[in-house]
Amino acid sequence: MVLKCGEIDAQGLSDVLARYGMGLEWVADGAAIPGSFWGESEAGLIANRLLVRRDTPLHSAMHEACHYICMDQQRRSGLHTDAGGGYDEENAVNYLQILLSDRIPECGRVRMFADMDAWGYSYRLGSARAWFEQDAEDARQWLQENGLIDVDDQPCWCLRQK
């Protein structure tokens, strides 16, 4: 079973989001999540608001938040539900969600790897961990070139601008 937003102290997630100018909004149990591209319990994204329920998988919340961080300002200005983006950006989103998961006390990258695998993220090396450790140099480089992480894989706490 994957880690759910309702199983963590939300302050850790809120703190990460706030550093990017995002807010966390809770939706009532069983209610539709506004801005959710996938529906069900998946996180929603509207402007700079990440919408979740207690049963929203944390990896979904982190993934959508990282889409917000990685998209350019033009897409961010009209953001509602569909984050869009291409292949390189999607890889960067996956990489960044793993890095930022270390900032969530109940999660961390090892748990994020397991949850991404359990949910069905697909990598040619067979697992999120193998991809991250052996095949994600292009994602890492993309994040560095866009000023989102430094050479030590530390977040720069800014949004993509170009």
88: confidence class by pLDDT, cuts 50, 70, 90: very high
Q: Which residue has the higher pLDDT, 108 or 123?
A: 108
Q: Is the pLDDT of residue 124 over 90?
A: no
Mean pLDDT of the chain: 96
The one-character DSSP state at 122 is -
| pLDDT in the model for residue 122 | 80
Q: Where are the domains of the chain?
A: 5-77, 88-145
Return the pLDDT at 121: 83
pLDDT in tens, 1-53: 999 999 999 999 999 999 999 999 999 999 999 999 989 999 999 999 999 99
Amino acid letter at 52?
V
Under 8 Å between Cβ of 81 and 92: no
pLDDT of residue 111: 98
pLDDT at 138 (0 to 100): 97
pTM: 0.96
